[in-house]
Amino acid sequence: MEFHHTPVLLQETLKYLNPAPGGIYVDGTIGGGGHSIEILKRIVPGGRLIGVDRDPEAILAVSERLKDYGPFLSPVHGNYVEIREIMSDLGIPAADGMLMDLGVSSYQLDAVKRGFSYREDVRLDMRMDTTQEFSAYELVNGYPEAELARVIRDYGEERWAKRIARFIVENRPIATTGELVKVIKEAIPASARRKGPHPARRTFQAIRIEVNQELSLLEDGIRNAVSILKPGGRLCIITFHSLEDRIVKRTFRNLQDPCICPPDAPICTCGRIPEVKILTKKPIIPNDVELETNPRSRSAKLRVCQKLQQNCGTHKQQGG
Protein backbone atom coordinates (compact mmCIF):
# COMPACT_ATOMS: atom_id res chain seq x y z
CA MET A 1 0.00 0.00 0.00
CA GLU A 2 1.37 3.41 -0.99
CA PHE A 3 2.07 5.92 1.78
CA HIS A 4 -0.02 8.85 0.58
CA HIS A 5 -0.87 12.16 2.18
CA THR A 6 -3.49 14.66 1.15
CA PRO A 7 -2.21 17.76 2.95
CA VAL A 8 -4.82 19.53 5.05
CA LEU A 9 -5.03 23.34 5.10
CA LEU A 10 -2.10 23.42 2.67
CA GLN A 11 -2.43 26.94 1.30
CA GLU A 12 -3.21 28.41 4.70
CA THR A 13 -0.18 26.66 6.21
CA LEU A 14 2.13 27.87 3.44
CA LYS A 15 0.82 31.42 3.87
CA TYR A 16 1.69 31.51 7.57
CA LEU A 17 4.86 29.44 7.42
CA ASN A 18 6.04 31.57 4.49
CA PRO A 19 8.93 29.31 3.40
CA ALA A 20 11.64 31.33 1.63
CA PRO A 21 14.50 30.30 -0.68
CA GLY A 22 17.54 29.24 1.33
CA GLY A 23 15.56 28.85 4.56
CA ILE A 24 15.70 26.02 7.06
CA TYR A 25 12.37 24.42 7.98
CA VAL A 26 11.15 21.45 9.99
CA ASP A 27 8.19 19.20 9.27
CA GLY A 28 7.76 17.50 12.64
CA THR A 29 5.23 14.98 11.28
CA ILE A 30 6.26 14.46 7.67
CA GLY A 31 3.89 11.55 6.97
CA GLY A 32 3.54 11.09 3.22
CA GLY A 33 5.25 14.39 2.50
CA GLY A 34 2.25 16.32 1.21
CA HIS A 35 3.17 19.52 3.05
CA SER A 36 6.90 18.88 2.76
CA ILE A 37 7.04 18.75 -1.02
CA GLU A 38 5.40 22.17 -1.25
CA ILE A 39 7.82 23.59 1.32
CA LEU A 40 10.77 22.13 -0.60
CA LYS A 41 9.58 23.71 -3.85
CA ARG A 42 9.83 27.10 -2.17
CA ILE A 43 13.17 26.77 -0.34
CA VAL A 44 15.47 25.22 -2.94
CA PRO A 45 18.09 25.88 -4.00
CA GLY A 46 20.04 26.47 -0.83
CA GLY A 47 17.36 25.63 1.71
CA ARG A 48 16.91 22.56 3.87
CA LEU A 49 13.94 20.67 5.24
CA ILE A 50 14.26 18.39 8.25
CA GLY A 51 11.45 15.84 8.01
CA VAL A 52 10.69 13.98 11.24
CA ASP A 53 8.26 11.12 11.77
CA ARG A 54 7.67 8.44 14.39
CA ASP A 55 6.65 5.94 11.72
CA PRO A 56 9.64 4.23 10.07
CA GLU A 57 7.43 3.31 7.12
CA ALA A 58 6.74 7.00 6.57
CA ILE A 59 10.45 7.83 6.59
CA LEU A 60 11.22 5.10 4.04
CA ALA A 61 8.35 6.14 1.80
CA VAL A 62 9.02 9.88 1.90
CA SER A 63 12.75 9.35 1.33
CA GLU A 64 11.89 7.57 -1.91
CA ARG A 65 9.12 9.97 -2.93
CA LEU A 66 11.25 13.08 -2.42
CA LYS A 67 14.60 11.61 -3.43
CA ASP A 68 15.02 14.19 -6.21
CA TYR A 69 15.51 16.85 -3.53
CA GLY A 70 18.65 15.06 -2.35
CA PRO A 71 20.72 17.18 0.06
CA PHE A 72 17.87 19.64 0.62
CA LEU A 73 15.89 17.02 2.60
CA SER A 74 16.98 15.33 5.84
CA PRO A 75 14.47 12.58 6.80
CA VAL A 76 14.75 11.52 10.46
CA HIS A 77 13.01 8.69 12.28
CA GLY A 78 12.07 10.23 15.60
CA ASN A 79 9.50 12.16 17.59
CA TYR A 80 8.92 15.89 17.24
CA VAL A 81 9.38 16.25 20.99
CA GLU A 82 13.05 15.33 20.36
CA ILE A 83 13.57 18.18 17.88
CA ARG A 84 16.28 19.87 19.94
CA GLU A 85 18.39 16.71 19.93
CA ILE A 86 17.63 16.08 16.25
CA MET A 87 18.76 19.58 15.28
CA SER A 88 21.90 19.24 17.39
CA ASP A 89 22.77 15.90 15.80
CA LEU A 90 22.39 17.46 12.34
CA GLY A 91 24.57 20.41 13.35
CA ILE A 92 21.79 22.92 12.63
CA PRO A 93 21.49 25.67 15.28
CA ALA A 94 18.04 27.04 14.44
CA ALA A 95 15.17 26.91 11.95
CA ASP A 96 13.12 29.56 10.16
CA GLY A 97 9.88 27.70 10.74
CA MET A 98 8.29 24.43 11.82
CA LEU A 99 5.08 22.54 11.03
CA MET A 100 3.37 19.92 13.20
CA ASP A 101 0.46 18.09 11.55
CA LEU A 102 -0.85 16.04 14.46
CA GLY A 103 -2.83 12.84 14.74
CA VAL A 104 -2.98 9.61 12.80
CA SER A 105 -2.16 9.71 9.08
CA SER A 106 -4.42 8.60 6.25
CA TYR A 107 -2.00 5.77 5.49
CA GLN A 108 -2.05 4.53 9.07
CA LEU A 109 -5.87 4.58 9.09
CA ASP A 110 -6.10 2.77 5.76
CA ALA A 111 -3.31 0.23 6.37
CA VAL A 112 -5.43 -2.58 7.81
CA LYS A 113 -2.50 -4.35 9.49
CA ARG A 114 -1.76 -1.33 11.70
CA GLY A 115 -4.98 -1.82 13.67
CA PHE A 116 -6.04 1.84 13.88
CA SER A 117 -9.46 1.28 12.33
CA TYR A 118 -12.49 -0.21 14.05
CA ARG A 119 -13.86 -1.29 10.66
CA GLU A 120 -11.49 -4.23 10.13
CA ASP A 121 -10.65 -7.24 12.30
CA VAL A 122 -6.88 -7.43 12.85
CA ARG A 123 -4.52 -7.82 15.80
CA LEU A 124 -4.62 -4.91 18.24
CA ASP A 125 -1.68 -2.58 17.53
CA MET A 126 -2.20 1.20 16.93
CA ARG A 127 1.52 2.02 17.24
CA MET A 128 2.63 5.03 15.20
CA ASP A 129 6.21 3.96 15.84
CA THR A 130 6.30 0.25 15.01
CA THR A 131 9.68 -0.10 16.75
CA GLN A 132 8.16 0.54 20.19
CA GLU A 133 7.08 -2.50 22.18
CA PHE A 134 3.95 -1.15 23.89
CA SER A 135 0.83 -1.52 21.74
CA ALA A 136 -2.94 -1.46 22.08
CA TYR A 137 -2.81 -5.17 22.90
CA GLU A 138 -0.76 -4.54 26.05
CA LEU A 139 -2.98 -1.62 27.04
CA VAL A 140 -6.31 -3.41 26.57
CA ASN A 141 -5.15 -6.56 28.32
CA GLY A 142 -2.88 -5.07 30.96
CA TYR A 143 -4.33 -1.81 32.32
CA PRO A 144 -6.33 -2.00 35.57
CA GLU A 145 -10.04 -1.33 35.13
CA ALA A 146 -9.90 2.12 36.76
CA GLU A 147 -6.99 3.17 34.54
CA LEU A 148 -8.76 1.92 31.44
CA ALA A 149 -11.83 3.94 32.40
CA ARG A 150 -9.70 7.05 32.91
CA VAL A 151 -8.09 6.72 29.47
CA ILE A 152 -11.40 6.14 27.70
CA ARG A 153 -13.09 9.00 29.59
CA ASP A 154 -10.29 11.58 29.33
CA TYR A 155 -8.99 10.85 25.83
CA GLY A 156 -12.17 9.59 24.18
CA GLU A 157 -14.64 11.82 26.03
CA GLU A 158 -16.80 8.70 26.23
CA ARG A 159 -19.76 8.85 28.65
CA TRP A 160 -19.83 5.05 28.96
CA ALA A 161 -16.13 4.79 29.88
CA LYS A 162 -16.58 2.94 33.19
CA ARG A 163 -18.96 0.41 31.69
CA ILE A 164 -16.71 -0.18 28.66
CA ALA A 165 -13.68 -0.65 30.91
CA ARG A 166 -15.57 -3.19 33.03
CA PHE A 167 -16.68 -5.15 29.97
CA ILE A 168 -13.12 -5.14 28.58
CA VAL A 169 -11.70 -6.54 31.82
CA GLU A 170 -14.45 -9.19 32.02
CA ASN A 171 -13.74 -10.35 28.44
CA ARG A 172 -9.94 -10.53 28.51
CA PRO A 173 -7.89 -11.60 26.70
CA ILE A 174 -8.91 -9.47 23.71
CA ALA A 175 -6.60 -10.01 20.76
CA THR A 176 -8.13 -8.21 17.78
CA THR A 177 -9.87 -4.99 16.85
CA GLY A 178 -12.98 -6.94 15.92
CA GLU A 179 -13.14 -8.54 19.37
CA LEU A 180 -12.72 -5.12 21.00
CA VAL A 181 -15.48 -3.58 18.87
CA LYS A 182 -17.81 -6.42 19.87
CA VAL A 183 -17.10 -5.82 23.57
CA ILE A 184 -17.62 -2.05 23.22
CA LYS A 185 -20.96 -2.57 21.45
CA GLU A 186 -22.09 -4.92 24.21
CA ALA A 187 -21.07 -2.38 26.86
CA ILE A 188 -22.98 0.56 25.37
CA PRO A 189 -26.77 0.34 25.77
CA ALA A 190 -28.59 -0.26 22.50
CA SER A 191 -30.53 2.99 22.83
CA ALA A 192 -27.27 4.94 22.96
CA ARG A 193 -25.93 3.17 19.85
CA ARG A 194 -28.76 4.15 17.56
CA LYS A 195 -27.55 7.71 17.00
CA GLY A 196 -24.23 9.40 16.47
CA PRO A 197 -20.87 8.03 15.27
CA HIS A 198 -19.68 4.42 15.37
CA PRO A 199 -19.88 3.26 19.01
CA ALA A 200 -16.20 2.25 19.05
CA ARG A 201 -14.84 5.50 17.63
CA ARG A 202 -14.24 7.31 20.91
CA THR A 203 -12.68 4.31 22.65
CA PHE A 204 -10.36 3.59 19.71
CA GLN A 205 -9.28 7.25 19.69
CA ALA A 206 -8.56 7.09 23.41
CA ILE A 207 -6.51 3.91 23.18
CA ARG A 208 -4.52 5.26 20.22
CA ILE A 209 -3.73 8.49 22.09
CA GLU A 210 -2.56 6.58 25.16
CA VAL A 211 -0.46 4.06 23.22
CA ASN A 212 1.36 6.85 21.39
CA GLN A 213 1.42 9.37 24.26
CA GLU A 214 0.06 11.96 21.83
CA LEU A 215 -1.25 14.40 24.42
CA SER A 216 1.29 13.91 27.19
CA LEU A 217 4.14 14.84 24.84
CA LEU A 218 2.41 17.71 23.05
CA GLU A 219 3.15 20.64 25.37
CA ASP A 220 6.83 19.72 25.64
CA GLY A 221 6.89 19.28 21.88
CA ILE A 222 5.52 22.79 21.35
CA ARG A 223 7.98 24.37 23.77
CA ASN A 224 10.91 22.49 22.23
CA ALA A 225 9.78 23.56 18.77
CA VAL A 226 9.73 27.22 19.80
CA SER A 227 13.18 26.84 21.34
CA ILE A 228 14.77 25.84 18.00
CA LEU A 229 13.22 28.68 16.00
CA LYS A 230 15.11 31.79 14.98
CA PRO A 231 13.59 35.09 16.16
CA GLY A 232 10.72 35.74 13.77
CA GLY A 233 10.38 32.04 12.99
CA ARG A 234 6.88 30.60 12.90
CA LEU A 235 5.35 27.44 14.35
CA CYS A 236 2.26 26.08 12.57
CA ILE A 237 0.26 23.33 14.27
CA ILE A 238 -2.67 21.45 12.73
CA THR A 239 -4.90 19.56 15.16
CA PHE A 240 -7.78 17.17 14.52
CA HIS A 241 -9.68 16.97 17.78
CA SER A 242 -10.57 19.25 20.65
CA LEU A 243 -8.16 17.70 23.16
CA GLU A 244 -5.14 18.51 20.99
CA ASP A 245 -6.45 21.95 20.12
CA ARG A 246 -6.96 22.88 23.78
CA ILE A 247 -3.35 22.01 24.61
CA VAL A 248 -2.03 24.00 21.65
CA LYS A 249 -4.22 26.98 22.51
CA ARG A 250 -3.24 26.92 26.20
CA THR A 251 0.49 26.45 25.51
CA PHE A 252 0.56 29.26 22.95
CA ARG A 253 -1.16 31.56 25.45
CA ASN A 254 1.30 30.63 28.20
CA LEU A 255 4.24 31.26 25.88
CA GLN A 256 2.78 34.64 24.86
CA ASP A 257 1.88 35.72 28.40
CA PRO A 258 3.94 33.69 30.92
CA CYS A 259 3.73 36.27 33.73
CA ILE A 260 2.47 34.75 36.99
CA CYS A 261 2.36 37.98 39.01
CA PRO A 262 -1.00 38.97 40.55
CA PRO A 263 -3.18 40.82 38.02
CA ASP A 264 -3.17 43.97 40.18
CA ALA A 265 0.61 44.00 40.67
CA PRO A 266 2.06 47.35 39.44
CA ILE A 267 5.21 45.75 38.02
CA CYS A 268 6.27 42.28 36.94
CA THR A 269 8.60 40.64 39.41
CA CYS A 270 8.39 37.01 38.24
CA GLY A 271 10.88 37.68 35.46
CA ARG A 272 9.05 35.54 32.91
CA ILE A 273 9.39 36.95 29.41
CA PRO A 274 7.04 36.29 26.46
CA GLU A 275 8.52 33.94 23.90
CA VAL A 276 5.96 34.14 21.10
CA LYS A 277 3.23 36.23 19.53
CA ILE A 278 0.06 34.39 18.53
CA LEU A 279 -0.76 35.13 14.88
CA THR A 280 -4.14 33.35 14.74
CA LYS A 281 -6.67 34.86 17.16
CA LYS A 282 -9.03 32.09 16.11
CA PRO A 283 -8.01 28.78 14.55
CA ILE A 284 -8.00 28.54 10.77
CA ILE A 285 -10.41 25.86 9.50
CA PRO A 286 -10.88 24.27 6.05
CA ASN A 287 -13.06 26.05 3.51
CA ASP A 288 -16.03 24.47 1.80
CA VAL A 289 -14.00 23.38 -1.23
CA GLU A 290 -11.51 21.47 0.90
CA LEU A 291 -14.26 19.89 2.97
CA GLU A 292 -15.86 18.65 -0.23
CA THR A 293 -12.65 17.21 -1.71
CA ASN A 294 -11.14 15.88 1.53
CA PRO A 295 -13.76 14.89 4.14
CA ARG A 296 -11.03 13.91 6.61
CA SER A 297 -10.18 17.59 6.95
CA ARG A 298 -13.53 18.39 8.61
CA SER A 299 -12.14 18.63 12.15
CA ALA A 300 -8.79 20.24 11.27
CA LYS A 301 -7.70 23.48 12.95
CA LEU A 302 -4.54 25.50 12.31
CA ARG A 303 -2.93 27.70 14.96
CA VAL A 304 0.24 29.72 14.42
CA CYS A 305 2.66 31.59 16.64
CA GLN A 306 5.82 33.57 15.89
CA LYS A 307 8.95 33.58 18.03
CA LEU A 308 9.82 36.97 19.50
CA GLN A 309 13.16 38.66 19.91
CA GLN A 310 14.72 37.98 23.31
CA ASN A 311 14.22 40.47 26.12
CA CYS A 312 11.10 41.89 24.55
CA GLY A 313 9.47 42.68 27.91
CA THR A 314 6.08 41.72 29.26
CA HIS A 315 2.68 43.33 29.49
CA LYS A 316 3.84 44.93 32.73
CA GLN A 317 6.89 46.98 33.42
CA GLN A 318 9.71 44.72 34.64
CA GLY A 319 10.93 45.29 38.15
CA GLY A 320 14.60 46.21 38.60
**Domain ranges across the chain:** 10-103+215-307, 112-212
Element (H or E) spanning 306, and its range?
strand 301-307
What is the pLDDT, as a whole number, of residue 196?
Answer: 80
What is the pLDDT, as a whole number, of residue 108?
Answer: 84
What is the pLDDT, as a whole number, of residue 39?
Answer: 98
DSSP 8-class letter at 22: T
Q: Could you name the CATH architecture of 112-212?
A: Orthogonal Bundle (1.10)
What is the pLDDT, as a whole number, of residue 250?
Answer: 98
CB 199 within 8 A of CB 278: no
What is the pLDDT, as a whole number, of residue 80?
Answer: 97
Fold match flag (10-103+215-307 vs 112-212): no
| CA–CA dist 22, 70 (Å, integer) | 15
Which residues in the chain show pLDDT less than 70? Answer: 1-5, 311-320
Q: From its phi and psi, is residue 254 left (phi > 0), alpha (psi between -120 and 50) or beta?
A: alpha
CB 58 within 8 A of CB 80: no
CATH homologous superfamily, domain 10-103+215-307: Vaccinia Virus protein VP39 (3.40.50.150)
| CA–CA dist 204, 212 (Å, integer) | 12
